[in-house]
Amino acid sequence: MMKQKLPLKKPITFNEKLQWLKLYDKNSIYSILVDKVAVRDYISKNFDENLLFPLLGVWKNPNEINYDELPNQFVLKCNHDSGSVIVCRDKEKLDKEYVKRYFDERLKREYFYYWRERPYKYVEPKILAEKYMADEHGELTDYKFMCFDGYVDNVMVCVDRHTGNTKFYFFNKDWQLKKYNKSSLSLPDDFKIEKPALMDEMFEIASRLSKGFPFVRIDLYCVNNKIYFGEYTFYPQGGYDANILPEADIALGNLIKI
């Protein structure tokens, strides 16, 4: 994938160490944390249930979904993979046959075999529905925190998803731009976007959620001045992120202690 030899005996870069962690870090709790249903109990018991998006239902197949019990707007997603999401903004216009075909296919996906991410191998596929959430602009901005056993190096802010041209900006806790990806090379060193009011609190939450793990990306959201948990991601891009700059790949790799 990266067209380079993988030095498993002495990995150095971020991507190399993610491959090492896939093979040798076999903490069984990871399967709970990547399960979008099971992780809710973990967050509720160990941190704060108020971090969770309101849950509307969980089903083993799309035939079980009772749309009459759902509000006009909601989000459907799979618990066992990445990216299997349908956002419903108007239930009257929802193509339920498409939803059925979509999740029939997605529930059959064995996500482990895509990138050999061990935790997904032990997750029972399900569908869950969560409350539809958006900010005052009708968007839901992702804040993805790169965490190393409680130390949060940076947050990747994902903006303009609705345009189909998503932009990714990395900032440290002092809200200074980190030139970690290729697109950042064209930005001035003092580039800024508006810092969200609760960003410092999000850094603290990400730190608490990540303690005990050599690396994990903690995804959070902030909607109407309230912070919500998104998910745990242990191997971003499967450990094959070709957009990360070589110097960033080394710098982030140095933060993973194996």
For residues 209 and 193, give the distance between their C-alpha atoms in angstroms, rounded to a whole number.
25
For residues 258 and 141, give the distance between their C-alpha atoms in angstroms, rounded to a whole number.
32
Distances (CA, A) of 93 to 48, 72, 88, 99, 162: 35, 10, 9, 12, 19
Asked if 136 and 224 touch (Cβ cutoff 8 Å), the reply is yes
- What the chain holds in terms of domains, given with CATH numbers, is 1-26+135-258 (3.30.470), 54-132 (no CATH)
Give this prediction's pTM: 0.95
Residuewise pLDDT in 10s, the chain (258 residues)? 667 788 999 999 999 999 999 999 999 999 999 999 999 999 999 999 999 999 999 999 999 999 999 999 999 999 999 999 999 999 999 999 999 999 999 999 999 999 999 999 999 999 999 999 998 777 888 999 999 999 999 999 998 776 678 889 999 999 999 999 999 999 999 999 999 999 999 999 999 999 999 999 999 999 999 999 999 999 999 999 999 999 999 999 999 999
